[in-house]
Structure formats: structure tokens, C-alpha cells
Amino acid sequence: MRTYHQLTDPDRSGLADQIGAQRKRVAERLAGVRRIVAVMSGKGGVGKSYVTANVARALARAHKPVGVLDADLNGPTIPGLLQVLQTAQPPAIGLDGVKCISMGHFLDQGAPLAFKGPAAESFVWRGAMEASALREFLGDVEWGNLDVLLLDLPPGLQRYIELCDILGNAPAVLTVTIPTPESRDAVRRAMRAAVDHGSELLGIVENMVGREFAGTAADDLAREFATPVLARIPWHPTPDTWSALGSRL
């Protein structure tokens, strides 16, 4: 009996072609984006979204068109940070003219992300649904010409891996950590995954510096991965703090 790859007649479903069309749509939408930067840490609570939003605003103030894709589908915070809640036609325009798309635009106020579908064993399809939502955020938004599209990733590696698959290549990565050794160890895994996938490491942002969180995470990781520490963000940063970071991207 012949096997799958030995059956070569045209397939009316054309599933491979449908996937190819999805990828083409993403590529066409992002054709005007000069650079895609994934903001990641692999760890929660280090301030990725806060850094993302403020760097985006700093770039926008420097007259660089910038967009933010809130890839944290289950905990979207970008709409709040950029002060946009709902929009009928993404992208929404946030503070300083930053374009953004977020699952927060589609959810009722305070509602968790839930999908219609069979409840039993929903883990089987939920990941695919979230990946498709991410693909639509990339491919269905009229981003136009952007200097930078910042992708605010949730904790963990799953969304980053989905992103690499959807884009067809690995985006540049801006890493965020706090100074503690616990954060360093979690962020190291994310950076190693980024290197393994072929991402360019742009550098490290050390957030929440100068008070309770003691450690040398940024310096340790910078040495280990031969990448610069781009900024150390104090507890009360000023617009100049973000402008300085933006100028180094």
C-alpha cells in the first residue's frame, strides 16, 4: 500500500496551499515594517509590557513610526499602558501615536480569554487557536510603514516559537530581566532558545533596578551571550530613560 507522500494527485482541500496563503498574507502585511523586535524574558513579572509600551512611545516621540503587537493573549496589558481600550478597526492608535493591536480590543472588560468550542480536552485545540489569533494580529492589521514593530510576548517560550513559525524566520529579540538570580536563570533559558532559533539578540534591559531586587542578572547574561546591556531602568524612570533606550535599538 502506498504511503502519504506517494500520493501526489492534486488535493482539492489544498491545505498546504491554504497555509501558504496565510503566510503570504502575513509577509505582505509586514512588507512595510523595517524591523520586527520581540520583547521577551521567559519569565513573568519583569515588566516586558511596561518596557515595550514606553520604548514604543519614546520611538514615536522621536518621529519613528512604531507599532506594538500585544502577543500576551491571555493577559493583555498594552491597551491600558497605551490608553486605548476598544477599536472597531485595528490598529488602535495609542499614546504618542503608537499603533497597537491586542486581544484586549476584542474582550469584554475584565473578561478572560475564552474560545467557543467543545469544552472537553480543549487543550487539544486551544494552542492552535491562539497561534491563529497571533497570525491574524500579524497579517490582518494594516500596519503600513513602520520603523519598528514591537511584539510584547507573554512569559514562557510558546508564543515565541509560534511567532518564528508564522513569520518563517526568527525575529530580533530584546530581552528584559530584573536583577535577581532567579530572573537571570529563567531569562537564560529564553535567550538560549532565541539563539537556537536564530534570533539576533539586540541586548538586555534590566528593569526595576535600585531597590529590593538585588543581583547582577543583566551583567551575567550580557557576558554569557556576548550582548550589550542596553539600559538599567530605575523604579521611577523619566522620558529620557526611555529615549536613551530607544536610541540604542
Partner 1 sequence: MKFLCVECDQQMAFGERQLPGDGTLAATFKCPKCGRVVAMLTNPMETQLVSSLGVEIGGRTVPAEPFEIVRANVVTGGPAWSNDAQERLSRVPSFVRGMVKKIYGDYAKDRGITEITPAVMDTARAELGLEGM
With CB under 8 A as the rule, give the number of residues binding partner 1. Answer: 41
Q: Residue 206: CA atoms inside 13 Å, Cβ hemisphere, count?
A: 23
In the complex, the smallest distance separating the C-beta of residue 50 from partner 1, rounded to whole angstroms, is: 25
In the complex, the smallest distance separating the C-beta of residue 29 from partner 1, rounded to whole angstroms, is: 10
In the complex, the smallest distance separating the C-beta of residue 149 from partner 1, rounded to whole angstroms, is: 17
168 in contact with partner 1 (CB under 8 A): no
In the complex, the smallest distance separating the C-beta of residue 68 from partner 1, rounded to whole angstroms, is: 17
Which residues touch 118 (CB under 8 Å, ≥6 apart)?
Answer: none
Strand partners, 165: none
240 in contact with partner 1 (CB under 8 A): no
In the complex, the smallest distance separating the C-beta of residue 103 from partner 1, rounded to whole angstroms, is: 8
Contacts made by residues 218-224, CB under 8 angstroms, sequence distance 24+: 218/177, 218/179, 220/184, 221/175, 221/177, 221/184, 221/187, 221/188, 221/191, 224/188
In the complex, the smallest distance separating the C-beta of residue 144 from partner 1, rounded to whole angstroms, is: 15
In the complex, the smallest distance separating the C-beta of residue 39 from partner 1, rounded to whole angstroms, is: 22
Q: Is 129 exposed, middle or buried (0-12, 13-18, 19+ CB in 10 A)?
A: middle
| Closer of 93 and 128 to partner 1 (Cβ) | 128
DSSP line for 40-69: E-SSSSS-HHHHHHHHHHHHHHTT--EEEE
Span near partner 1 by CB under 8 A; candidates 58-66, 134-142, 155-163, 208-216: 134-142
SS3 184: helix
Query: What binding mask, one character per residue, do residues 174-203 give for partner 1 by CB under 8 A, x or -?
Result: ------------------------------
Q: Which position among 87, 132, 241, 243 is part of the footprint of partner 1 (CB under 8 A)?
A: 132
User: Which residues ranging from 13 to 32 are in contact with partner 1 (CB under 8 A)?
Assistant: 13-15, 18-19, 21-22, 25
Question: Other CB atoms closer than 10 Å to residue 6's CB: what's the count?
Answer: 7
- Is residue 178 within 8 Å of residue 148, measured between CB atoms? no
Whether cis (ω within 30° of 0) applies to the bond prior to 91 is yes
User: Which residues ranging from 93 to 122 are in contact with partner 1 (CB under 8 A)?
Assistant: 103, 106-109, 111, 113-118, 120-121
CA angle at residue 123 from 198 to 197, to 5 degrees?
5
- Binding residues for partner 1 (CB under 8 A): 1-2, 4, 7-9, 11-15, 18-19, 21-22, 25, 90, 103, 106-109, 111, 113-118, 120-121, 124-126, 128-129, 132-133, 135-136, 140
